[in-house]
Structure 1
Amino acid sequence: MSQRRAVCLLSGGPDSVVAAAIARDAGYLVSGLYVDYGQRTASREAEFAARNAAWLGVESLRTAAVPFLGEIKGSALTDTDSRVTDETRHLEYVPFRNTVLNSLAIAWAETLGAERVVTGSIGGPWITPDNSPDYFRALNDLIAVGTRSDITAWAPLGECSKAESLRRGIDLGVPLGETWSCQNDSDVPCGECNNCLDRSRAFKELGVQDPLG
């Protein structure tokens, strides 16, 4: 009997590698997909996604480029003319991004004969509409009628807080110091964007020092 396969979206962030580690430890042969959609931190994220893929021992890691999402702007994450801060949290939604990313992963999963597409979406409150349990239920309904495969979109951290996600990562031995959360393109985490603040709060809640500093 052949091993079950999963395509895991790897962003270089902690939640995506923790979700992929959960899939791997559940017995899936993991292939990683990194998507450059024109985000300001694309090169930094790609670097850490590659590190995460190496640690996971993925069967393969592919990069897909969707520059159009960056070209149309519409999000603080793709607008390189301004800085991302906690005050721009409400502007971080990238129009239809997660559906585009999941669609690419689903297409590859079909060619691989994979059973799962795995994302690092975590529990609410959901800043964007395409991370919630309702979204994933609808996405799986779409997969059922729009593909020729029995693929399931799976967010194993979908009911977890950021702290709970990091705890799962620590328990699984994920090298969290090899993950990148900052939404600004800088050499070190800015400490002021939504992702940096959420990460800092979560590590403090766990009483653990962030290995990234």
Structure 2
Amino acid sequence: MKDSVIIVSGGMDSITLLYDKKDEIALGISFNYGSNHNLKEIPYAKMHCERLGIKHITINLDFIHQYFKSSLLEGSDAIPEGHYAAENMKSTVVPFRNGIMLSIAVGVAESHNLKNVLIANHAGDHTIYPDCRPEFIKAIDKAASTGTYVEARVIAPYTNITKGEIAKIGKKLGIDYAETWSCYKGGEKHCGKCGTCVERKEALAEAGIVDTTEYED
């Protein structure tokens, strides 16, 4: 029985989760909050959902770009380069982004009489993003279950594994990661230098996947 909604960005992690749990997913939701890379990611999310016969919607969150402070919202030149876990990557935090998206997804789930909301945060996010950490997922899961008649649950199965381990799952599922987007700069090609590009390269290498991503460098 399909009883789940998934937050699907079009990146490696959420596309892996989409295929991993495809038999449970009734609806894929992408959020356009005006980041540099949204317009590159979301078409991949839509394409993969359509390929799997899963309904896909995009919800605009224009207020985030208008009122929130983050280098992700300021253009490609504002995006720091270097390793994903480096201190300068904190500038890419969009405050409470997952909290906002999960809250909306829980409301959509209840509106469709669906019980679960899937999200693909992982252990590599913990250093930089507070709303990816296990304690946050536990708290918002509790809020979702107590705040809805369907007793909705937030399911985050990759919370305690690395992006490399996620890529290994994707390898078994036969996912072509060239059909995903990671780069925070959102140019014509992956820049190859920002934190998410570096993390992408490391994850694919760890999983033993030939990296066919087109990089600027």
Note the alpha carbon deviations across 1:158-179, whole angstroms, 9 max, x for none: 1111110111111112221110
Instruction: Name the counterpart of 1:8.
Output: 6
2:103 aligns with 103
Partner of 1:94: 94
Matches of 1:44 and 1:81, distance apart in 2: 13
Secondary structure of 2:131's match? coil
Equivalent position of 2:85 in the other structure = none
**TM-score with structure 2 length normalisation?**
0.90
Counterparts of 1:97 and 1:29, CA distance in 2: 22
Counterpart contact for 2:125–2:132, Cα < 8 Å:
no
Quote the residue 1:171 is aligned against.
172
**CA–CA separation in structure 1 for the residues paired with 2:11 and 2:191:** 15
**CA distance 1:180–1:149, change in 2 (3 Å):** same
1:54 pairs with 50, 70, 80, which one?
50
Alignment-derived partner of residue 129 in structure 2? 128
Distance, in Å, in 2 between the alignment partners of 1:56 and 1:122 is 23
Work out whether 1:36 is the aligned partner of 2:32.
yes
2:179 maps to a residue whose letter is E
**Whole-angstrom distance in 1 between the partners of 2:108 and 2:28:** 10
Question: Please, which moves more after superposition, 81-90 or 152-161?
Answer: 81-90
In the alignment, the residues of structure 1 paired with residue 168 and residue 90 of structure 2 have an alpha-carbon distance, to the nearest angstrom, of 27
3-state SS of paired residue (2:140) = helix
Q: CA deviation at 1:81?
A: 6.7
Q: Which amino acid aligns with 2:149?
A: R
Structure 1 position 29, deviation (Å): 3.4
CA contact (8 A) 1:73 1:79 kept: no
Question: Cα RMSD (Å) of the superposition?
Answer: 1.6
1:75-117 CA distances to partner (integer Å, 9 max, x unpaired)?
1111127331235411111011111111111111001111210
* Structure 2 residue matching 1:74: 3-state secondary structure: coil
How has the CA–CA distance of structure 1 residues 137 and 8 changed in structure 2, closer, same or farther, with 3 Å as cutoff? same
Q: Secondary structure at the match of 1:120?
A: coil
Q: Percent identity?
A: 27
Uncovered stretches (5+) of structure 2, i.e. residues with no partner: 83-87
Contact 2:76 2:186 in 1 (8 A): no
1:211 Cα deviation from its structure 2 partner: 2.9
Q: How does 1:181-196 map to 2 (within 5 A)?
A: 181-196=182-197
Instruction: Decide whether the 8 Å contact of 1:18 with 1:169 is kept in 2.
Output: yes
CA distance in 2, matches of 1:147, 1:14: 30
* Deviation of 1:119 (Å): 0.8
Equivalent pairs counted in the alignment come to 208
- SS of match in other structure, 2:77: coil
Does the Cα contact within 8 Å between 1:6 and 1:23 map onto a contact in 2?
no
